[in-house]
Structure 1
Amino acid sequence: MKMSIKTKILSFIPIMIIVVLVISGLSYIFAKNEIEEEIESRLARQAGETAGDMETLLAEHQRIGEALAEVAGQKGTTFNEEDYQSLQERLIGMNDATFGIGVWFEPYAYDEDTEFFGPYSFRDGEEIAYTDEYANADYNYPSQEWYTAGVEAQGATWTAPYYDEALDTVLVTTGTPFYTEEGTLLGAVSSDMNAEAILALAQNIEVGKNGWAFLMDENGTLLAHRDAETIEDDPVLQEISGEFEDSGTERVAYADGDAVVSYTTLAQNGWKLGLVLPESEVYAGVNALLRNVVLIAVVLIILTTVAMYVLASKITKPIRALNEEVKHVAEGDLSRQLTVTSKDETGELTTSFNLMVTNLQNLIASVRESVHTSSDAVSQLSAISEETMASSEQISRAIQDVAEGTTNAAAAAEESSNKTTVLSEKLSALTVISDSLHQQSEKVDETNQKGSEKTSVLQVKAEQTDEMIGHVEEVVQDLSEQMTEVASVVGTIAAISEKTNLLALNASIEAAQAGEHGRGFAVVAEEVRKLAEQTAEATRDIRDSMKDIQTKTIAVTGEMANARKLSIEQFEITEETVASFGEIAKSNTTMSKLVSDMTSHIKDIEVNKEKVVSAIAEIAVVMEESAAASEEVSASATEQLTALEMVTTSAEDLQVSSEKLVQQIEQFKS
């Protein structure tokens, strides 16, 4: 499929559109992520700051109760009701958020005659009032949640907000137990805080334009909400409250749209403060950004398309005009010229086209003149070439005859030289073999001499071996006789040990009959009997060993006899070997003399052979040089003849080409 330059340029428009769309999409995605992270971070930061304010408020209130509990633990029953009232008034005045505070002793712990003792002070408008109406069985403060929770935790605990009918106020209470120095529980301190103060902090938080805050206790009960009248009617937060961790961000779905929830947990009582911001507000900036990105992308695409179309038209218009002129030139019209309208690459191309046409005009004129001149010269060259070719053929035939004769003579000389060379090589090989044979003869003589010396040594060693075998036979015979004597002695020892054993047995019997007087003798007799038995046992072992040694001695005697027989045979063979070496030495001496004579005659032939081979080689070289020179002259003549034929043919072809060139040049218009 053929594509114009304009089409190729415009084909980049879809690519540019895709690039713009991809860049716009990525920019939108990155910006969206950044905005989401920024809003979530801002919500988390705002929740953390508000939670910090609440924790400060709660911590200051909790310290009031802990301070009173510490004093109550130290003073205990030594403080009377007025002392506690005075202390409570001072502590309440130290913190504006503290509504009331009381000291509550365990039943009968303050006074064995008083079951309930609980002085309590609270704010009454601008004044601080005192009451003891809670110290009775009807209220039964030891059963209250703030009391039991503090005692169980052995530290400060917080209650959920509750409504106090007597005070007509929503309170949140901390319970802090106090103990004697021995660790016995005395009671608990209650410090009440007006819940409206902390709930107001949550309700007054401004979260964006349409967001709100909520406060939830550790059980998931909503304490503060954007709509105080329907605080219990937020099923979405009620449903996800069990999924909350200490802090984090969640997305929840409301009927009027999704929302982002950022929450954190208060350290003192586990309450969760959350900030809710509708996603419509979260993504308001993102949606505006999307509109701007889409608008910019559309504008860029339109501008890019128009710019590329205009550019393609501007580039291709002069190229099309130049293409038309080139077609006229291709048809032979060299009178065409273009006007240069630009200074870019297209203008340079137009200038080059005009220059090319001018150069072609000059070239055609020069060629036309040269063709006419060369046509006449070619005619003359063709005639001269035909005459020269006839003379060259005669010279070539004469030189070829001379070359054939010289080649035959050189071949005969070369054959003689080859045969002489073969003869020379065989004589040289014979000389080498003769020298080698002489050397081998000398080595055989030397080896024979060494063998004779070794056999003499072997003969002496054989005599020494025979003498040693005789000595060994005598030693073995003496050993056999001594073993017989030892066996006799061992038999005597065995008989003595048997008799000793019998005597020891008889002595034991006699000692037993002697009673108490023979007991010592009986012990000695028993030891003698044991020694006799050990001697008999050792004697038996010796007798067995002696039998084994006698058996092996007899075997050694037989082997020594065989060894002596082999030694005699070895000595006889050694004498025969010595005689054989003598015969070999005589034969080798005779052969060595014959080889020396043969080597001398071969060397004389070798000297004369070198002269013959050298003369024949010189003749062959001269003949080969003559043949080569003749062949070179013949080849040169043949090449010259061939070259002349080619010149003649080329001249004829050139004549034809010149005529055709004249016809073609006449087609161009100047």
Structure 2
Amino acid sequence: MTSSPASPASLHRQDRRRYSLRTKWMLLICIAVFLSLTASTLMLFATVRSSLQRSFANANAVQVESATREMRMLTEQYEKSLEQLSLSIGALAASAGRPAQPIALLLQATQAKDPSLQNVFFIPASDGHTLASSSANPPADDRQSSLYRLVAQEKSTAWTSIRLDAAAGKMTVTVVTPVMKGSELYGTAGYDIDLAGIGALRESNESFGKNKLILFDDRGLVVTSFMKGMEGKNIDPNASGRTEGTADALKDAGEMKKTFAWVEDVAAGKREDIAFKWQGVRYAGTVSYVYSMNWNVVSFTERKALDRSLQGFVQISAIALVIGLVIGALAALYIATRLLRTINALRRTIARTADGNLTAEFDYAANDELGDLAASYNEMLHRVRSLIGKVNVGVSSVEETAHGVRVISGENGRTSREAARSTEEIAAGAAGTTLELEKSAEAVRLLTREIGTLTVQSADIERELATSEVQVRDGDASAAHLEASFEELEQAFGRVAGMVDDLCAQSQSISSVTRAISDIAEQTNVLAVNAAIEAARAGAHGRGFAVVADEVRRLAQQARHSAMQIQRTITGVLEQTGSLAEVVNRTHEVNGIQKDAVSHVSRAMNQIQTSIARMLAHVAQERSTIAAIDSQKGIVVSSIDTILSVSEQTAASSQEIASSVQAQAAAAAEVSEHAARLVELVSELKEDVARFKTEL
């Protein structure tokens, strides 16, 4: 069987660049792993970044709260110390008649205990002349000062805003508290505190927590800061120039607003993620408050620590991504290798099947989709084996029938040739009969002339009678010969009738065989259609079986067409044979009539001979005898003409029979050729089917 040409789709697939399934799987899984790891890394990065930011913010919040607590504790210490001083002043006022001197000594002793106290003072409610531990100012009534009025009104401890002590050149803050004598206000005591001590506390806190602190009051003035030389300067861009004698932290207003814009956010209530950049270093800050002093405490942490942590996480994530890709590639290689091993096994099995080995089943032990594919493929092989077996049986039957048709066609051809020869013999006999009849007619005409001569010339009767006797004897011999020819013709017609009957019987046998061939071809066509359906269900793996099924169906249709053509030819032969039988029967009947006529002529000739003999014996009765012969002349001539006409018809019928027999012989030869072609096609089909191995 010739291989089918490659389809355009297969050629197009061959033209395209080929990529290994292993490469595709590795690429696909690596892409999937890369995308999943990238997505998880991004989500984890966002989570870690948020967590680190929260962690740094919490650490910063802890640090700022720690610094704030220390500030609060410091302020509380000052407040408690001042309240204790006020109680001591009240006690001195109650016990001493003139307490000014003891109070002044107490103020000096209190300042001596704490170096951060720049001044300790007391403003009596009686005259307002301030007593101070380190003041040389002349006595004045300070009861109109804002400090005294604040304490006199609230009768509680209060803090003032920070200010620059012009005499000492230091930043100072004042805390005041009322001094009570019983239930009456005796005066006001207070501390002028040097903020340098708070700066030392800030530095201690910064060294412990590795963060940077900025303390500024509600006016934006820096109390203490990690920024060198910024104490007492304004960092609030909106408060620039509002406080007399206070300089801005930066001279350039634009740079001032850009650098300290976060101060506005703090004033608006923002507590976390305060962004600040100073001297090229980026910071993130958290805000707390010292409510008693209206101070803002901002703890800043350098962002590079957070960036280093994030960078380390990114590096670890990149390493994890590479490791994940390697693991994914190895997994893809393992999966693709196993899958390719299975696919190669299936491809080898399909190749063996394509070569005709229908016993090569696909072995796959795992219970998965490939196992289902193997089971379906093996089931398809089983069905194809069964189908090929049925086709093989059908082909054998068709081959036997084709051989039978070929033999019968040969016999039919030989019979047709014999019938043709017999018909030719009949035609030759009919031609001989015609010739003899023409001779008889000539003899009768001669006899007529002789009778006329006898009538005219009575004197020569003896001589003419002798001649007539000779001629009569010749006519008698011719009649006898003609009678024998008709006997042979009758026998030939009998043989022709028998041959025609045999031809009809053989034609009927050929007709039954062609019907059997047509039925087998129809069944083969149905089997081929079923095979094509099964091959179509098998998809690309059943393409070879579809080609075989199409070839079987085409051969079956051709066999059926040939059988139908043979059937039509046989039907024509049967019809022509029936016509031949009718012609033979009619010819046989005419031959019987001719035979009777010849017998009648023979008897007439005998009578003529007897008459001549009598004429010789009885010359006297010559005229009466000649008259009798003359009266019989018309009948003889009419009979001879009738016999001649029938003989001519017999010759024409013989020619027609010969033509019909020749046509039948040609049809038989054509049937034989079709039978031979059918045998060849069946042999080719058998060879194609034999290529398939269906037994284990």
Q: TM-score per shorter chain, which class?
A: 0.3 to 0.5
Bigger Cα Rg: 2
TM-score, with structure 2 as normaliser: 0.45
TM-score, with structure 1 as normaliser: 0.46
